[in-house]
Amino acid sequence: NNTKTNTPNECEPAALPDGSLILAARDEAAPYRVLSRSHDFGRSWQPLSRPESLRSAICQGSCVWVSELKRLLLSFPAGEPGEKSPSRSNLVVKASADGESWQDWKTVYQGDAAYSVLQVVPAGATSKLPHGGVLVLFERGHSGTGSLSVQIYPFPSQKTV
């Protein structure tokens, strides 16, 4: 959906296993994440897309490729269902195998939430996550009066045969 002017900012890149880069950003012009892809390590970019499934508050988000899940994860405040202009609430993580189609992965926090960072914790990096996992650091509460929170999603154990 490129019918409206896009004004992206607060961009977040992620490297994909095929060697391409994906850039996710908030869009000051509309309540959606905008995405672009580069197949030449950032020298040129495809036109911005605005997937309908990535309706979002105008707010920073985060993205990261998670090899263990074979998915690109994207976090952002989705707002409440039915809001014309989504509020900075309902922090979600969406997942995609191809960077084009997106599915719900986790609802991180249903109250007021804004900026977030996704981080992959490798297996063995800490005894608290022996199999690794995904860490979500996020701003919870109203801007200026909130606090930082962490949500951890462990990877399932790998059983050997």
Residue-by-residue pLDDT tens, the chain, 161 positions: 444 677 899 999 999 999 999 999 999 988 999 999 999 999 999 999 999 999 999 999 999 999 999 999 999 999 998 888 899 999 999 999 999 999 999 999 999 999 999 999 999 998 889 999 999 999 998 766 789 999 999 998 755 44
Write down the pLDDT at residue 2: 46
Half-sphere exposure of 157 (CA within 13 A, CB side): 5
CA angle 67, 154, 59 (to 5 degrees): 75
Write down the pLDDT at residue 76: 97
d(CA 151, CA 10): 22
What global pTM score does this model have? Answer: 0.91
Pairing status of strand 21-27 against strand 8-15: antiparallel
19 closest CA partner among 62, 69, 83, 65: 65
Write down the pLDDT at residue 98: 92
